[in-house]
Amino acid sequence: MPLALSEISRLASEIFLSSLLIAVMMGSLILSGCLYMGRDFVTTPVRSIENNVTTQREIFSYFGEPIRKGLENGYETWTYSYQYYELAQLRDSKELYVVFNKDNTVRSYSFSAK
């Protein structure tokens, strides 16, 4: 069934408006020159994490809600991640990856930062 001229016109308008919105958002990003990904977190408590001692509750109190939760070989994992770009250059980056034992203590963790 062929589309009516009014329907074609409406679809063209929606496509145009969507494209315009994307262009405005990209322009704003380019003009601002800054892009944040993830959620910033303090790194000082990383030094106090101890395998088989530090609890999941303590990790939460140090760093808050993780940006991502998952499973690794049946063990719960939490990821904290943050990146800051300025004029398309990575200026700051940090990631904390924590694996928990079944008793909710830290099994292992890794931390990296730029």
SS3 readout for 51-101: CCCCEHHHHHHHHCCCCEEEEECCEEEEEEEEEEEECCEEEEEEEEEEEEC
76-81 contacts, C-beta under 8 A, 24 or more apart: 76/100, 80/38, 80/39, 80/41, 81/37, 81/38, 81/39
Q: What is the pLDDT of residues 27-47, one digit of tens each?
A: 665 555 788 899 999 999 999
What is the pLDDT averaged over residues 89-109? Answer: 96
What is the pLDDT averaged over residues 91-105? Answer: 96
- pLDDT band for position 58 (cuts 50, 70, 90): very high
Tell me, yes or no, if the pTM score tops 0.85: no
Tokens of 108: 């292992």
Query: Domain ranges in the chain?
Result: 1-32, 34-113
- pLDDT band for position 86 (cuts 50, 70, 90): confident
Q: List the CATH code of the domain at 34-113.
A: 3.30.1450
